[in-house]
Amino acid sequence: MTNTVSGRQEQWRAEFPYHWDEDDTITRRELLRFTVYTSGALFAAAVGLAAFNRFYRSRAAGVKPLVRLSELVPGQAFHFNYPDPDDESILIHLPEGRLVAYSQRCTHLSCSVSYQPERERLFCPCHDGAFDPRTGEPIAGPPRRRLPRITLEETNGIIYAKELLP
C-alpha cells in the first residue's frame, strides 16, 4: 500500500517536475533583477529630463525689441514672449517709474504668474504663490526661488530684452 502511494507520488513528480525548494530563491532573484531594471528606467528618466532641459530650455536668447517706452503706463504690465516664442514673460512699469521684466513661469511648478498692481505682487493662482514685483523674490506660498529676471535696455525710446538671468 505504502509502496503504491509513494510510487504514485514519484510518478506525479516525474510528470510535474516542480522544485519547491527553489521557488523562493527564484522569486527573490527575479525581484532583484526587476529592481535593477526599474532602477535603469528611473536613471533613463532622469537622463531624459536632463536632455530635455539641454535641448529645449537652454537656447541662447539674444536681443529682442519689446515696446515703445511711451506706450507703457506706470503701474501696468506688458506681456511678451522671451527668449522663445512659447516662453511667456512680463514687463512691469512700477509705480515709481522703474522698469522690470521677469519670466512668467512660477518657480514652484511652472504655472503662469500675473501682475496684481492693487496688491503690489506677482501672483501664481495654482498654489497661491506670490512674488515681489520689484525684486522677483518669493514673498508667499510654496515658491522658494526668485523669478528668472530679464535684463532690459532702452534705445531711442524702444525697450529691448537683452538676457534671461536665472
- Give the interface segment with other proteins, choosing from 8-16, 22-30, 70-78, 119-127 (CB under 8 A): 22-30
Q: How many chain residues bind other proteins (CB under 8 A)?
A: 37
User: In angstroms, what CA-CA distances link 161 with 65, 90, 130, 142, 144?
Assistant: 6, 11, 23, 28, 25
Contacts of 146 (CB under 8 A, 6+ apart): 107, 131, 135, 136, 137, 138
Of 56 and 154, which has the nearer Cβ to other proteins? 56
Instruction: Count other C-beta atoms under 10 Å from residue 106's C-beta.
Output: 25
Nearest approach in angstroms of CB 70 to other proteins is: 32
Q: Residues interacting with other proteins, by CB under 8 A? A: 19, 21-22, 24-25, 28-29, 31-33, 35-36, 38-40, 42-43, 45-47, 49-50, 52-54, 57-58, 103, 105, 107-110, 143, 145, 148, 166
